[in-house]
Chain A
Amino acid sequence: MKTYEQINDRISSGKAVVLTADEIMDYVDKKGLAAAAQEVDVVTTATFGPMCSSGCFLNFGHSKPKIRISEAWVQDVLVYSGVAAVDVYLGATQLRHGDPANMYYPGEFRYGGGHVIEDLVAGKSLQLFALSYGTDCYPLRELRTYFTIKDLNQAIMVNPRNCYQNYNVAINRSDRTIYTYMGRLEPNMKNANYCSAGQLSPLLNDPLYETIGVGTRVWLAGAQGHVYAEGTQHAGLCERTADGIPTGGAGTLALTADMKQMRAEFVRGVSLRGYGVSLALGVGVPIPILNERILKYTCVRDRDIPAPLIDYGSDYPQNTGKVIARTNYEELRRGEITIGGKTVEVGSLSSYYKALEIANLLADEIRRGDFLLAQPSAPLRADTKMKPLVRREPS
């Protein structure tokens, strides 16, 4: 048994033993669970992939004369300005003004909110265009100017939902090609796409939320941020394997961090043909090895993680909840799976390569004593389900 304080003391003194979630299984197989739990302080987990529920608050500071922004665009991408005078929220999936979207199907969606966020973190000069109705205290009615992230008072990423614990594998049983947020899916189950770091993914290494909770310090695109709440659609109460691994979606994290500390290579705009724009993000989460049980959870392997196949040609859009087959991440990573005797090619939208890089970067920061663990102030709930939207008549 170890405490957060003991682990942080070892990190501060540069003595912490840190392994990635990719290395820990073989280490535990070799050393045995009890000895490894004594020895190892932290296991680092990570993921890199599109996370649509992401965005950031920007504060521009006040111009002369002042403006109370009522509508605004950054690089022609609409930002939300229904907050204080010069605060805006820039969302990852917002399209650029004038984007034809899917008018000429499948649309290209070359640039949008996610790309603005990438350019902002990369230090590029961006255009702000803002309008106002004018008030006595904020008389300016129109503003066009250029800024970089250095000019902003704050650029704070605030993501309502990241790091889905487990996720669907998308396949298409219809007879036409479809374009989804899970990529292009060829007709008649020709291919399937998944989007998870599997055995490296944060919440799959702490399936019952024993260490990851509200207040946990995380590595968000190179910056030290934290979990500020359970993510939207968090549903801890779900079907699980005997080892506690959810058989579908389940838990999510709401994350925040200072974008001025981020690295552009881990904040990447995404264009999904026929679907829209998004943001791919790199997230690393350290798991303190407080006891043997927590260590055992981090030893999860791709073969232990169930992956539900969902038909995005019909069942997903119609919200039937039907799972057409189940596979696991070991099979998915082989590049093809067999469904009812048919061989299906498999691709990934999540980068294991980048996730591995992040797990190693975080491990190095902890070993150097630069990243201390934060004990959660509240756990993630394990007793809630995800509710559907019921369409009602006016009462």
Chain B
Amino acid sequence: MEMITQKLMFYFPKCECEKPIIYHLVKDHGLIVNVFRAKVTPEEEGYLVLDVTGTPEQIQSGIDFVKTFRVTVNYSGKGVTWEEQRCTHCGYCVPYCPTEALRLDNPATRRVIFDESKCIECLACIRVCPFGACASVF
């Protein structure tokens, strides 16, 4: 069976944070989990951005399991956003981005592009962008 990797973002409303969701994704659904970023504080809403690797069926059963906890699943995994209108394409962020999610698409025009699928949400771009083009949803 073909293994695929999908980036997901889970949004936990208040009080759904105490259950060991990741443990069950690994143990019961056979998924390989790579957590990029998490903010899960008791009594507060929480976020989790992660890659899950498995067969499409395993991933689907894992997502169905997660949804039983009133957790919202965002399939684009957009924990970090890049607002093209605010970007001036200076390229200052490019060397600080460790995965080349932010890069120049063409050496002649030097336009900056953001490849969401490569973003590991290290937040380096948010700290360096002089124009506030990059932001975190949490």
Using CB atoms and an 8 Å cutoff, list the residues of chain A in contact with chain B: 48-50, 110, 183-184, 191, 193, 268-273, 278, 280, 333, 335, 345-354, 356
Contact = CB atoms under 8 A, between A and B. Distances in A.
Interface residues of B, number: 20
A193 B96 CA distance: 11
Interface string B40-60: 000000000000000000000
Nearest to A192: B95
Given A48-B90, A335-B94, A347-B93, 13 more contacts: A110-B132, A184-B127, A268-B131, A270-B130, A272-B130, A347-B95, A348-B91, A352-B91, A352-B109, A353-B88, A353-B89, A354-B88, A354-B89
A280 B96 contact: no
A191 B128 CA distance: 13
Contacts of B111: 353
A350 B130 CA distance: 11
B130 A347 contact: no
B112 interface: yes
Most buried by B among A191, A278, A348, A353: A353
Contact of B131 (A183, A280, A346): A280
Contacts, number: 70
Contacts of A269: 131
B101 to A, nearest CB: 15
Nearest to B131: A268
* Chain A binding surface, main DSSP class: strand
Interface of B: 88-96, 104, 107, 109-112, 127-128, 130-132
B114 to A, nearest CB: 14
A270 B110 CA distance: 20
A22 to B, nearest CB: 8
Contacts of A193: 92
